[in-house]
Amino acid sequence: MPNARNKNMNAVLAAAERKAREALAENEEADPANLTAAPVILKVRWVKGSSGSGAGALREPIGLGGWFREQITAYDRPRAYSYRVVRSIPPFDHEGGTLTFTPSADGTHVDWLTSYTHPAYAGGKLMEAVSLRLLRWSFLAVLARCAKALES
């Protein structure tokens, strides 16, 4: 049985697999502003002095009621990338996340696995239940933006 801290979301993006994988990997990494397709994310930027996309890069999403500093920990374009939230408001304990892009009969299977908990003083299990819904909603919104971009 998976660790209760693990949250897994997946979907299929109906597009030529290579084009879809590259677009998603590029959109998530090369232009962090594409994360603003997520309904709760207002702005995303690379941290000043950061190396840009690739392992070691730092980005900061700012959203409704939250701020995160994420470090890209691995980058295997166009197959996968991993990241870890190293600081956030509100605080939470993030063990890391990975997005993988796999060819499928219908296009590209996109899988996002992330593992985190919220400490009790920051809402604990209640906040985890809320954040999981927000993450799922955001994940699907980012995929929808990528799909629309690939259609044009």
Cβ 135 vs Cβ 36: under 8 Å = no
CATH topology of domain 6-151: Alpha-D-Glucose-1,6-Bisphosphate; Chain A, domain 4 (3.30.530)
Calculate the dihedral angle through the C-alpha atoms of 107, 34, 26, 150, rounding to the nearest 10 degrees.
40
Q: What one-character DSSP code corresponds to residue 120?
A: G
Write down the pTM of the prediction.
0.80
Instruction: Identify whether the C-beta of residue 69 lies closer than 8 Å to the C-beta of residue 85.
Output: yes
Q: Given a cut of 60, is residue 70 above it in pLDDT? A: yes
Q: Which of 8-12, 39-43, 54-58, 88-92 has the lowest mean pLDDT?
A: 8-12
**Is the C-alpha dihedral spanning 40, 42, 47, 52 positive or negative?**
positive
Domain ranges of the chain: 6-151
Angle formed at CA 67 by CA 122 and CA 136, multiple of 5 degrees: 80
**Residue 8 three-state SS:** strand
- Read off the pLDDT of residues 11-56 as tens digits, 9 standing for 90 and up: 776 655 555 555 555 554 456 767 888 888 999 888 988 877 788 9
List the one residue out of 138, 137, 118 whose CA is nearest residue 128: 118
Query: In this predicted structure, what is the pLDDT of residue 23?
Result: 57
Compare 136 and 88 and report the one with higher pLDDT.
88
Q: Distance between CA atoms of 140 and 18, rounded to whole angstroms?
A: 20
Where b means 16+ CB within 10 Å and e means fewer, 22-52 reads: bbbbebbbeebebbbbbebbeebebeeebee
